[in-house]
């Protein structure tokens, strides 16, 4: 008697998963290759890049300030809760500045922007795909990469690090103000603590992370939008996929960069 068809045979789903993954990598590489090929069409992408920079920078500024402000305040309040009398007060300054600049500023900003910018780009390009607008560009002999992808990726790569700098400043300031409500920390203690363990590389590290996250958000969301299928449902799937994939990649990159740049 033959064995019943193996319901636990994982070869088929695993194979399908691997093939799908490789197909994504291939299509993503083609898109990046197309971007590289059309980078010379600066007359096309430059004006659109300024528009996108305005959309990302000005449009995202309020939410970034709000999130980083609360992150700084909560970090300060939790520090106050855990603080015992045996630790010098200036350490609070170190904790808040390093937490915000190294981790919370770039990561929280990137996660918020993955939702705001990533969802928007995936939905925009996805709608353009299902309504044949991208096909129309191609039939007009124009490159969708120089018209749609390069401006978005460049604008993100420039503006997201700028937003992270603002997030860091606002987060540290909010932490400074908030900690004084729970601990008897003077301004001199705080600034001394902030400076004593500060290295200029911390600021560079924050910007490097922001730059990596920016590329991750914009490239993934443009890719997902570009490969949208099946009408409105497809646009919804692409948008969700863009946000989820961007968030996961941000966390992976966060770990990878910490290992590569801080723990050599």
Partner 1 sequence: MIELRDVYKRFGTQVILDGVNLTVNEGETLALLGPSGTGKSVLLKHIVGLIRPDRGQVIVDGKEVRKLNRHDLRDLRETIGYVFQNGALFDSQSVYENIRLGITDEAKYLDDDYCHERVARCLKMVNLSPETAAKYPAQLSGGMRKRVGISRAIAGTPKYLLYDEPTSGLDPVNSDIIDDLVKSLADGLGVTSIMVTHDVKGAFRTADRIALLTGGKIVQIGTPKEFMASTVPEVREFLERDFGNVTFAA
Q: Which of 19, 87, 136, 256 binds partner 1 (CB under 8 A)?
A: 136
CB of 37 to partner 1, least distance (A): 8
Q: Does 137 bind partner 1 (CB under 8 A)?
A: yes
**Residue 224 and residue 245 in contact, taking contact as beta carbons nearer than 8 Å:** yes
C-alpha 52/C-alpha 169 separation (Å) is 24
CB of 47 to partner 1, least distance (A): 11
Q: Does 142 bind partner 1 (CB under 8 A)?
A: yes
Q: Does 230 bind partner 1 (CB under 8 A)?
A: no
Q: Which of 6, 7, 139, 263 binds partner 1 (CB under 8 A)?
A: 139
CB-nearer residue toward partner 1: 139 or 264 = 139
Residue 102, C-beta contacts closer than 8 angstroms, at least 6 positions apart: 202, 205, 206, 262
Q: Which of 138, 187, 196, 248 binds partner 1 (CB under 8 A)?
A: 138
CB-nearer residue toward partner 1: 42 or 201 = 42
Task: Please list every residue from 100 through 129 that binds partner 1, using CB under 8 A.
Answer: 128
Give me the 54-93 binding string for partner 1, x by CB under 8 A, dash otherwise: ----------------------------------------
Q: What is the DSSP string of 171-210?
A: HHHHHHHHHHHHS---HHHHHHHHHHT--HHHHHHHHHHH
Q: Within a 13 Å sphere around the CA of 196, how many CA atoms are in the beta-carbon half?
A: 15
Number of neighbouring beta carbons within 10 Å of residue 155: 24
Q: Does 32 bind partner 1 (CB under 8 A)?
A: no
With contacts defined by CB under 8 A, name the span among 20-28, 75-83, 135-143, 219-227 that binds partner 1.
135-143
Q: Which of 14, 135, 187, 262 binds partner 1 (CB under 8 A)?
A: 135
Task: Please list every residue from 172 through 211 that binds partner 1, using CB under 8 A.
Answer: none
Q: Which of 61, 133, 207, 234 binds partner 1 (CB under 8 A)?
A: 133
Measured between alpha carbons, how far is residue 161 from residues 45, 107, 142, 230 in Å? Answer: 20, 11, 30, 35
- For 122, the token pair is 């995936």
19 CB-contact burial (10 Å; exposed 0-12 / middle 13-18 / buried 19+): exposed
Number of neighbouring beta carbons within 10 Å of residue 122: 30
CB of 158 to partner 1, least distance (A): 21
Residue 60, C-beta contacts closer than 8 angstroms, at least 6 positions apart: 112, 113, 116, 117, 159, 163
CB-nearer residue toward partner 1: 13 or 141 = 141
5 CB-contact burial (10 Å; exposed 0-12 / middle 13-18 / buried 19+): exposed
Q: Does 132 bind partner 1 (CB under 8 A)?
A: yes
Q: Which of 20, 78, 131, 186 binds partner 1 (CB under 8 A)?
A: 131
Site residues (vs partner 1, CB under 8 A): 37, 43, 128, 131-133, 135-142
């Amino acid at each position: 008697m033959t064995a019943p068809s193996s319901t636990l045979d994982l070869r088929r789903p695993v194979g399908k998963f691997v093939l799908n993954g490789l197909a994504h990598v291939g299509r993503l590489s083609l898109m990046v290759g197309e971007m590289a090929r059309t980078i010379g069409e600066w007359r096309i992408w430059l004006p659109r890049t300024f528009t996108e920079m305005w959309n990302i920078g000005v449009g995202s500024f309020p939410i970034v300030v709000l999130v980083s402000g609360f992150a700084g305040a909560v970090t300060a309040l939790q520090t106050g809760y855990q603080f015992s009398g045996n630790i010098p007060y200036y350490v609070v300054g170190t904790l808040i500045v390093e937490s915000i600049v190294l981790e919370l500023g770039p990561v929280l900003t990137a996660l918020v922007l993955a939702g705001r910018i990533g969802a928007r780009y995936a939905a925009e390009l996805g709608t353009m795909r299902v309504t044949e607008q991208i096909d129309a560009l191609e039939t007009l002999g124009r490159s969708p990469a120089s018209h749609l992808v390069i401006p978005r990726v460049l604008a993100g790569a420039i503006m997201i690090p700028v937003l992270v700098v603002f997030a860091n400043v606002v987060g540290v300031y909010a932490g400074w103000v908030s900690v004084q409500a729970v601990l008897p920390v003077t301004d001199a203690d705080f600034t001394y603590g902030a400076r004593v363990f500060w290295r200029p590389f911390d600021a560079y590290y924050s910007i490097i992370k922001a730059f990596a996250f920016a590329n991750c958000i914009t490239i993934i969301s443009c890719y997902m939008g570009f490969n949208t299928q099946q009408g409105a449902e497809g646009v919804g799937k692409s948008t969700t996929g863009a946000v989820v994939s961007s968030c996961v990649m941000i966390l992976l990159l966060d770990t990878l960069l910490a290992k590569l740049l801080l723990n050599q």
